[in-house]
Structure 1
Amino acid sequence: MSKDIGQSEHFSFAETNPIEDIGGGLKRQQLGYNHELMAVKIWFEKGAIGYNHAHRHSQVSYVVEGEFHFNIDGVTQILKPGDSCFIPPHTDHGATCPTGGILIDTFSPAREDFIEESK
């Protein structure tokens, strides 16, 4: 049972919504959430790595700009702007970004750890 994390404001503005430096050439901005769903924007510097990991959440990642080498459950594909991928719960995954780029990640349920880290 997840705890009540509340929800974000109805509207989110790029110029006032905080951007977190999460290290390793990655920055994250929460776009909106409630307990069922979360969307975040992730900036990757050139050569940055989102190291392989797994979590209980379903995830869809959409490439806004740049080139990403996504590894999902041992299979690697190159994704470019307009491409996306689905990552089932508890599936090992990660991405490298040789060009620098931006992703929009959505999670269901919301990533409570992201909300806690931003406080």
Structure 2
Amino acid sequence: MNKQSEHFLFGDETPIEDLGGGLKRQMLGFNHELMAVKIWFDKGIEAYTHQHRHSQVTYVVEGEFHFNVGGVVKVLKAGDSCLIPPHTEHGAISPTGGILIDTFSPAREDFVEDK
């Protein structure tokens, strides 16, 4: 990936992508080594169980999330975070709705393709 974001991104100017199914995503900054993304979950939405080659740290901004990381489920609330190692199955359900900040290393190329 040879793209990178601008050095400064402003929340009220950066597009929010509707992913469908009660999920929205906003890029917070990226280059080939690192990416940060803001994700909105509507109430009751489940992010499907998946895995990828990237290391991921997720921070809960608001709401409650039931995270499954490698078969272990924990309830995370605002201020909590989790580390998801590469190639580890993970997913989340948000019974309340909420907001996450996801960081990835290296960056998720699939999030910026054709943009």
Provide the TM-score with structure 1 as the length reference: 0.94
Instruction: Identify which of 68, 73, 86 aligns with 2:70.
Output: 73
1:86 partner SS: strand
Aligned Cα root-mean-square deviation (Å): 0.8
Q: Structure 2: where are the runs of 5+ without partners?
A: none
The structure 2 residue matched to 1:22, chosen from 16, 19, 24, is: 19
TM superposition outliers: structure 1 runs of 4+ over 6 Å: none
**Does the residue aligned with 1:56 lie in a helix, a strand or coil?**
coil
Partner of 1:48: 45
Question: 2: distance between equivalents of 1:64 and 1:22?
Answer: 19
Out of 2, 5, 8, the position equivalent to 1:8 is 5
**Secondary structure, counterpart of 2:112 in structure 1:** helix
Gaps of 5+ in 1: none
- Quick one: percent identity of the two aligned structures? 74
Q: Greater strand percent: which structure?
A: 2
Q: Report the 3-state secondary structure (helix = DSSP H, G, I; strand = E; otherwise coil) of the residue aligned with 1:113.
A: helix
Residues paired across the two proteins, number: 115
